[in-house]
Amino acid sequence: MSTVEIVEVRGKVEKEHPMEKLLRMDRIPHIWCPTCGIGTAVKAFATALEQLEIDYNNVAVVSGIGCTGRVAGYMKLDSFHTTHGRAVPFAVGLAIAKPKMKVVVFSGDGDLISIGGNHFIHTARRNVDITVICVNNFIYAMTGGQVAPTTPILANSSTTPYGTFEYPFNLPLLAASSGAVYVARWTALHVRRLTNAFAEALQKRGFSFVEVIAPCSTLYARRNKLGDGLNLMKFYHDNSIIKHGADPREVDIGFQEKIVVGKFVDIEKPTYLDCLNDGYKRVFGDAYKVYGEEDE
Amino acid sequence: MDSRVINSRATTTGRVGMKFWRRPLDTDKIKIPHGELHIIWERCKGCGFCVEYCPKEVLELSTEFNAKGYHPPVAVKEEECINCGLCEELCPEFAIFPVLKEEPEEAEEVKK
Ligand code: SF4
Ligand code: SF4
């Protein structure tokens, strides 16, 4: 390489990236396409963990299948890569067996909401103390760009080549109406607010849900002739409306329409384990030993 | 939902903000931090997020290729980097980060 600038820049890389302690470096560079937004969401999550100063031995990341499903494999934390759609049930088992552990599900829209949709709503209903991060790129990416339950009406996918005509899910509404105690949505461009949302969700007792709108450059953007991920980031910049406390019923997303982002729900409610303990105490009285209080 | 209402509200607040914009009293005392940029050349996939959103326009995509065939960024105005860390936060590849540069005068002041 000839130019001075570059030699200089390359010569300076002797420091390691501050996030390397949280990543399995033998697997980096990751498989995500250039301008895909999943990496940015992972960076925000790692920053949130760092800011919270929690013991990394006490955090577990669970993913399902899909592009976002790779996250569990890249984080240097206790992590598990489950079968398609089963990230939430695995996480529920983990959260109940180890009540002190922060269990995070990091997966995509197709995995969590379509194939794992039933697990998602019932875990929210029972208010199990886990955090679910859903990277929503509006499409099944890894399997080849098929229509997802989040694909906006009119958007093109490999199974709807003339544009889809099905109603998509409104994820904040789905989570809130199923019983989630914390619901927020940000785009991959709102990195700082996204980091704060992750930190808040991690600290929340109960089922917390963060939707991350992220660009899929290779399938969603290209099939819909929207350019690449950078063009979608610019689109988010121009078309996001921050509206904290917005009614989740009013935050659905149309094809290339305004995206309402913000924190929509933040309430307190006894968790699944609280209810379980209360329920058994009611039946067995003092004979019942409260579960999840003692150190493991 | 009436998105127009929200929109117009957003713009109005923006304008009001601008009207009351004034010089803080301690501008002469505030020191702008400076960052030293580290770019992990071979890990970058040339997405351009860092170049597009750097508030000081410090970065530009290089004309050279890395081994994977992407154009990583180069710091064309590194002296203007304010160590805000936005490039680090946005980079999906964990390939760029600034490190706070210690200012020589600052060190002296601490001694006094
Ligand atoms: S296919 Fe889409 S979601 Fe998957 S890595 Fe590429 S850009 Fe990201
Ligand atoms: S954000 Fe990262 S991957 Fe994208 S161009 Fe900048 S350094 Fe390269």
Show residues of chain A in contact with B68, CB under 8 Å: 29
Q: What's the pLDDT score for residue B18?
A: 56
Q: How many domains does chain B have?
A: 1
Q: Are A60 and A87 in contact (CB under 8 A)?
A: no
DSSP assignment of A16-43 equals PPGGGGGB-GGG-S-SPPTT-SHHHHHH
- Asked if the structure places residue A10 within a domain, the reply is no
Which of A12, A193, A264 to substitute to test the interface with B, most B CBs within 10 Å?
A12
pLDDT in tens, A149-180: 999 999 999 999 999 999 999 999 999 999 99
The residue ranges of DSSP E strands in chain A, in sequence order, are: 59-63, 78-81, 102-108, 131-136, 182-187, 208-213, 240-242, 259-266
Residue A31 CA to residue B93 CA, distance in Å, equals 10
Q: Please give the residue range of the domain that contains residue A229.
A: 19-287
**Which pLDDT belongs to residue B75?**
95
Longest Cα–Cα distance of chain A, Å, equals 79
Report yes or no on A5 lying in a domain.
no
Average pLDDT over all residues of chain A: 94
Distance CA A284, CA A123 (A): 26
Residue A7 lies in a domain: no
Per-residue confidence (pLDDT) for residue B60, from 0 to 100: 96
Contacts of B90 in chain A (CB under 8 A): 40, 43, 189, 191
Residue A67 lies in a domain: yes
Does residue B80 belong to any structural domain of this protein?
yes
Please give the residue of chain A at the shortest CA–CA distance from B2: A250
> ipTM of the predicted structure?
0.89
| Separation of CA A229 and ligand 2 centre (Å) | 12
Here the CATH number for the domain that contains residue B39 is: 3.30.70.3270
**How confident is the model over B54-82, as a mean pLDDT?**
95
Residue type at A86 in one-letter notation = R
Residue A186 within a domain? yes
Q: Whose CA is nearest to atom 2 of ligand 2?
A: B91
**pLDDT tens-digit profile of B13-46?**
444 455 666 777 787 788 889 999 999 999 999 9
Residue A36: CB within 6 Å of ligand 1? yes
Residue B27 lies in a domain: no
User: Does residue A278 lie in a domain region?
Assistant: yes
Q: What would the pLDDT profile of A181-225 be if each residue is shown by its tens digit? A: 999 999 999 999 999 999 999 999 999 999 999 999 999 999 999
Residue type, A30: H
Q: Of A106, A79, A108, which Cα lies nearest the Cα of A94? A: A79
pLDDT at A106: 97
As for how many domains chain A has, the answer is 1
Q: Domain range holding B96?
A: 1-9+35-104
CATH of the domain at A92: 3.40.50.970
Residues in chain A with CB shorter than 8 Å from the CB of B95 are 17
What is the distance in A from the centroid of ligand 2 to the CA of A267?
38
B87 CB within 8 Å of a chain A CB: no
pLDDT at position A273: 96
Within-domain flag for B2:
yes
